Structure formats: structure tokens, C-alpha cells
Amino acid sequence: MTTRIETPRLIMREFTLEDVEAVFEFGTHAEVSRYTGDAGDMTTLADAEQVIRDVWLAEYQQYGYARYALVHKADNRVIGFCGLKYMPQFNAPDIGYRMLPEYWGQGIGLEAVAATLTYAKNQLGINHIVGEVVTENHASSKILMRLGFKHTEQYEKLGFTINRYDYKTQ
């Protein structure tokens, strides 16, 4: 397991196949996937394993980054993910984050995203990041705006109205 980022409350590390049950737990939780566009796609442990193997592990190899497991230090539990995903249509990575509802409202999302932005700039040399947020997901929009993302456009995607935010470090 490769730790990429550490914050006061989190270890952010690469996913492994040993995380399949945790990925299944947050990946099938209705509230967690409510605004994601992929709600209902994961229905079995095999689906969770496929996401780890064919998406995240492949992206670590191809791009040097992907979504990272969020390990809550206090209980040593994988509670979700935060990280980047290269989006060819933007020629930039997208920031994404999800976590189990019992960890919402504690500033953990803000902490994870802020640390990811610092890591992206300082370790990966990335200076442009996109965030796509469903308009009803006010908490995620607040996180991005608080960290310096600028709202750049609004469009329809996967049956949702999406707000696009851009973050540039230069």
C-alpha cells in the first residue's frame, strides 16, 4: 500500500484489492452515490473489485494518479475516496471525492480535497484541475469554492445539471 498523502485525520493511499469490501460499502450506499451518475452500477463485490483493478490500479499505472483510499486514522477504516481522474475531454484531471455519510459534516472532505490539491501541484506538477458537481450537491460546491475553484459553466450530463469548476495554480 502506497501512502500518497497524510493529513491530521486521514491517510490517503492507493487502493488495493484488499479494499474490496470497503469499496463495496461506500460504492453501493444510496446517499453516497446520489449525485454521481453511476448510482446502481455497483451491485456485487466483483463489481467493486473490477473498479479497483480495471480503473484505479490501471490509472495509477497510466497517469501516476487516480482516486485514493481515504483511511480515517481514528478507526483505521477506509471511508471513501478522494483524488484525481484524467478526463480527456478537459485535457485535465477531475477532482472527485466520496465518503460514508457518518463522516459528513466534519470537514473531512475539505481536508482531503485541500491536501489533494497541494499534492497535485507540488508532487505531480498539475496546474489545472476540473470539478464537476451536480447543482443540488451544495456541500461539494462549497468545498470547491472555498478552496479557490471558479465556476466556469453549467451543462446537462447523465440526466443531471452540472456545474463545472476550474482550479488553476498559476
- What is the chain's mean pLDDT, rounded? 92
Helix, strand, coil % in the chain, rounded to nearest 5: 35, 35, 35
- CATH classification number, 3-168, choose in 3.40.630.30, 2.60.40.420, 3.40.50.11240, 3.40.50.300: 3.40.630.30
> Taking 70 as the threshold, does the pLDDT of residue 34 lie above it?
no
pLDDT digits (tens, 9 = 90+) for 64-110: 999 999 999 999 999 999 999 999 999 999 999 999 999 999 999 99
Distance CA 107, CA 158 (A): 28
2, 16 Cβ separation under 8 angstroms: no
64, 14 Cβ separation under 8 angstroms: no
Which has more confidence, 68 or 40? 68
pLDDT (0 to 100) of residue 40: 53
Q: Within 10 A of 41 (CB to CB), how many other CB atoms are there?
A: 12
> Taking 70 as the threshold, does the pLDDT of residue 36 lie above it?
no
pTM: predicted TM-score of the whole model, two decimal places:
0.93
Q: What's the gap between Cα 25 and its chain centre?
A: 15
Distance CA 84, CA 134 (A): 18
For the chain, the straight-line distance linking the first and the last C-alpha, in angstroms and rounded, comes to 32
In the structure, what pLDDT confidence band is assigned to residue 35 with cuts at 50, 70 and 90?
Answer: low
User: Which residues have C-beta within 8 Å of that of residue 8, sequence separation ≥ 6?
Assistant: 111
In the structure, what pLDDT confidence band is assigned to residue 169 with cuts at 50, 70 and 90?
Answer: confident
Beta bridge partners of 134: 162
